[in-house]
Amino acid sequence: MKAVVYTRYGPPEVLGLADVKTPVPGDDEVLVKVCAVSLNRSDWEGLRGTPLYSRIGGLFRPRRHVLGSDIAGRVEATGHAATRFKPGEDVFADVLSRMGGFAEYICVPQGALAPLPAGLSYEQAATLPQAGAIALQGIRDKGQVLPGQKVLINGAGGGAGLYAVQLAKLAGAEVTGADNTEKLEFIRSLGADHVIDYTREDFTRAGRAYDLVLDLAAYRSASACKGALAPGGRYLYVGGSVGTLLQVLLLGPVLGRAERKRIRLLAVRLGVQHLAPLVELCQAGKVTTVIDRRYQLSQVPEALRYLGEGHAKGKVIVALD
């Protein structure tokens, strides 16, 4: 089968389309023919080997040689004990812990798979796993956004931002989305009430206070972020610099305690089994999936460059035949 392979960290040029062995499903695994796979920032981070947390398991060289985690496709074959699915069924999955989605076929443990939601295409379903889990848990489960609250989503123009802005609006919040100049119109189109151009304005210095800051691109100090919270507000670190992550982990529990401000890491529970509320909203037309661009498998390097260089608005998809 064809797969997009890399053996060292670097720019998109280190990726190459190669012929590799089609995997054989283990007892509890399902062989899926990949029909669509969406790109995430975690693919870009895993390609570049930065931030440092993206090298977990492969400090000098990538442990997994095929990136791509959010897949939708069709069951091709099943292992002896994988009885939940049958060949021909449409499925989707998040395979972040093992990657391998930029390929024609992938083996997935049956527990990580769910049936393709009715009414959603392979491409739409593939946009949901990682971005949707971050947004659902950031806005609803951990963010606990209430009507009228002020919410800032930093990095709102990307994949998780796409769903986080819409969920925060559905919860009745007043939403501000921050991202680069090119993405501001897109963030407004998702329903955001205000936008901030991070290349011109630092949200921690603007003198505004939020009940929730969902930080998808955390590059400011934890104490600066604390300053952007209203009393009783929450700051959730999702991704960004390792320096900010360490500050959040080490200082977060004490910073802002006096003003009842909570500064925490959002450790996302990944897995399509947690996505049901978002899937239902998509099926009901209350949340929209936005696919900015589609690429072929051979164009994965180009697709990743588009995302990594800051152009992708919403999701980017690799569609296979």
Ligand X SMILES: NC(=O)c1ccc[n+]([C@@H]2O[C@H](COP(=O)([O-])OP(=O)(O)OC[C@H]3O[C@@H](n4cnc5c(N)ncnc54)[C@H](OP(=O)(O)O)[C@@H]3O)[C@@H](O)[C@H]2O)c1
Residues near ligand X (CB under 6 A) = 40-42, 45, 130-131, 134, 154-155, 157-161, 178-180, 183, 198, 216-217, 219, 238-239, 266-268, 310
CB of residue 313 to ligand X, shortest distance in Å: 8
Distance CA 167, CA 203 (A): 21
CB of residue 247 to ligand X, shortest distance in Å: 15
CB of residue 154 to ligand X, shortest distance in Å: 5
Nearer to ligand X among residue 63 and residue 86 (C-beta):
63
CB of residue 174 to ligand X, shortest distance in Å: 19
Write the burial class of residue 205 (CB in 10 Å: 0-12 exposed, 13-18 middle, 19+ buried): exposed
Lookup result for tokens 């989503």? 153
Nearer to ligand X among residue 101 and residue 157 (C-beta):
157
For residues 189, 183, 48 and 250, what is the CA-based torsion angle, rounded to 10 degrees?
A: -80
Nearer to ligand X among residue 33 and residue 183 (C-beta):
183
Sign of CA dihedral 238, 242, 244, 246: positive
Residue of 189, 191, 237, 193 lying closest to 212 (CA atoms): 237
Nearer to ligand X among residue 86 and residue 205 (C-beta):
205
Residue 5, token pair as written in the block: 């392979």
Lookup result for tokens 């499925």? 91
Nearer to ligand X among residue 82 and residue 228 (C-beta):
228
CB of residue 133 to ligand X, shortest distance in Å: 7
CB of residue 153 to ligand X, shortest distance in Å: 9
Nearer to ligand X among residue 122 and residue 198 (C-beta):
198
CB of residue 97 to ligand X, shortest distance in Å: 11
Nearer to ligand X among residue 231 and residue 277 (C-beta):
277
Question: ∠ CA(10), CA(14), CA(18), 5° rounding?
Answer: 150
Is 307:44 a contact under the CB 8 Å cutoff?
yes
Nearer to ligand X among residue 25 and residue 129 (C-beta):
129
Contacts of 318 (CB under 8 A, 6+ apart): 36, 37, 38, 39, 68, 102, 294, 295, 296, 297, 299, 300, 303
Distance CA 313, CA 123 (A): 16
Nearer to ligand X among residue 114 and residue 218 (C-beta):
218
Pairing of the two strands 174-179 and 194-197: parallel
CB of residue 114 to ligand X, shortest distance in Å: 18
Distance CA 109, CA 271 (A): 12
Pairing of the two strands 16-19 and 2-5: antiparallel
Q: Is residue 51 reached through a cis peptide bond, with omega within 30 degrees of 0 on the bond before it?
A: yes
CB of residue 159 to ligand X, shortest distance in Å: 4
